[in-house]
C-alpha cells in the first residue's frame, strides 16, 4: 500500500453513491481502522443518474441514503472526518448530515456544488472543496459564492482525473494543476497566490489532523 511505503501519503476510504451495490460495512471498517486512513469518503448522495423506472428509482434513493448513513456512523465511531459527494441532492444530503449529528467529525463537501443552502454546514465543521471548475468560463455560480465561504473553511482539490482546470481542460487532471485553481482563487479573494496556498494548506492540516 502506497501509504505504508511513503510517510507523506495518507488515504481515505468510502463507497461512492454509484457503487452502493458493493457496500460491505465490515470491509470498509477494516480499512478505516488503518493508522494512515485520515477520512471516510467519498460517500454521499447522487441523484444525477437515477434509474428511470419509478420503483427502481425509489429503491436506489433509499439504498443510497442507507449506505451514506452507515458511513457517517463509521466516521463517528472512528472519529475521522467525512469526504462528502453531493450531486443534485443538496436537500436530502443536508438533512441526513444534520439528523445524524455529523458535526461530531465534520468533513469536506468535495467539489462543492455552489449551492448556497449548503453554506450553513460550515457551522457543523464542514469545509468546502474547490477544484478546477472555479477556472471554467461557465462557473459563474461558484465564482459568486466563493467569497461567502469562511476563509478558514476553504480547501483546494484535484478530483483527478476529472475537471482539469482551464487552460488544460480536456487533458487528464493531476495535482500539479491545482496551481491554476489557487491563482484563480487568489484573484477572486484579493489575496496573493502564496497566501491562498498557505491558507488552504493549513485548513487541510486541521481538517485531517495531519
Prior bond of 42 cis (ω within 30°): yes
| Interacting residues with Zn ion between 157 and 196 (CB under 5 A) | none
Q: Which of these, 176, 183, 180, 112, lies nearest to 148 by C-alpha position?
A: 112
Distance in Å, CB of 27 to Zn ion, minimum = 20
| Nearer to Zn ion (CB atom), residue 112 or residue 177 | 112
Q: Which three cell numbers stand for residue 182?
A: 489557487
Residue 46: beta bridge partners?
A: 87
Distance in Å, CB of 162 to Zn ion, minimum = 9
Distance in Å, CB of 192 to Zn ion, minimum = 30
| Interacting residues with Zn ion between 10 and 69 (CB under 5 A) | 42
Q: Which of these, 96, 142, 61, lies nearest to 107 by C-alpha position?
A: 96
| Nearer to Zn ion (CB atom), residue 85 or residue 94 | 85
Given the DSSP bridges, would you call strands 126-130 and 154-156 parallel, antiparallel or unpaired?
parallel
Residue nearest Zn ion (C-beta atom): 85
Prior bond of 167 cis (ω within 30°): yes
Q: Applying CB under 5 A, what is the total number of residues that bind Zn ion?
A: 2
85 in contact with Zn ion (CB under 5 A): yes
Give the C-alpha separation, 179 to 160, whole Å.
Answer: 14
The number of residues making up the chain comes to 210
Residue 156: beta bridge partners?
A: 130
Q: Render the burial of 115-128: b for 16+ CB within 10 Å, e for the rest.
A: beebbebbebbbbb
| Nearer to Zn ion (CB atom), residue 67 or residue 199 | 67
| Nearer to Zn ion (CB atom), residue 17 or residue 106 | 17
Q: Which three cell numbers stand for residue 134?
A: 472555479
Distance in Å, CB of 94 to Zn ion, minimum = 16
Distance in Å, CB of 163 to Zn ion, minimum = 10
| Nearer to Zn ion (CB atom), residue 44 or residue 106 | 44
| Nearer to Zn ion (CB atom), residue 15 or residue 199 | 15
CA angle 87-11-143, nearest 5°? 40
Q: In this chain, which stretch among 1-9, 85-93, 128-136, 200-208 interacts with Zn ion, using CB under 5 A?
A: 85-93
Distance in Å, CB of 160 to Zn ion, minimum = 11
Q: Which positions touch Zn ion (CB under 5 A)?
A: 42, 85
Amino acid at each position: 500500500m502506497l501509504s505504508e511505503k511513503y510517510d507523506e501519503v495518507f488515504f481515505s476510504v468510502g463507497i461512492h453513491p454509484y457503487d452502493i451495490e458493493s457496500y460491505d460495512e465490515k470491509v470498509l471498517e477494516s480499512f478505516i481502522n488503518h493508522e494512515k486512513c485520515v477520512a471516510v469518503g467519498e460517500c454521499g448522495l447522487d441523484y444525477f443518474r437515477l434509474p428511470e423506472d419509478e420503483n427502481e428509482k425509489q429503491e436506489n434513493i433509499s439504498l443510497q441514503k442507507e449506505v451514506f448513513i452507515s458511513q457517517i456512523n463509521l466516521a463517528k465511531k472512528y472519529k475521522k472526518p467525512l469526504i462528502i459527494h453531493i450531486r443534485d441532492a443538496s436537500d436530502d444530503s443536508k438533512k441526513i448530515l444534520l439528523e445524524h449529528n455529523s458535526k461530531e467529525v465534520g468533513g469536506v463537501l468535495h467539489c462543492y456544488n455552489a449551492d448556497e443552502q449548503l453554506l450553513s454546514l460550515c457551522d457543523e465543521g464542514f469545509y468546502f472543496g474547490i477544484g478546477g471548475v472555479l477556472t471554467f468560463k461557465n462557473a459563474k455560480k461558484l465564482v459568486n459564492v466563493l467569497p461567502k465561504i469562511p476563509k478558514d473553511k476553504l480547501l483546494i482539490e484535484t478530483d483527478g482525473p476529472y475537471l482539469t482546470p482551464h487552460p488544460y481542460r480536456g487533458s487528464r487532471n493531476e495535482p500539479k494543476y491545482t496551481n491554476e485553481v489557487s491563482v484563480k482563487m487568489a484573484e477572486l479573494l484579493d489575496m496573493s497566490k502564496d497566501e491562498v496556498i498557505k491558507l488552504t494548506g493549513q485548513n487541510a492540516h486541521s481538517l485531517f489532523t495531519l
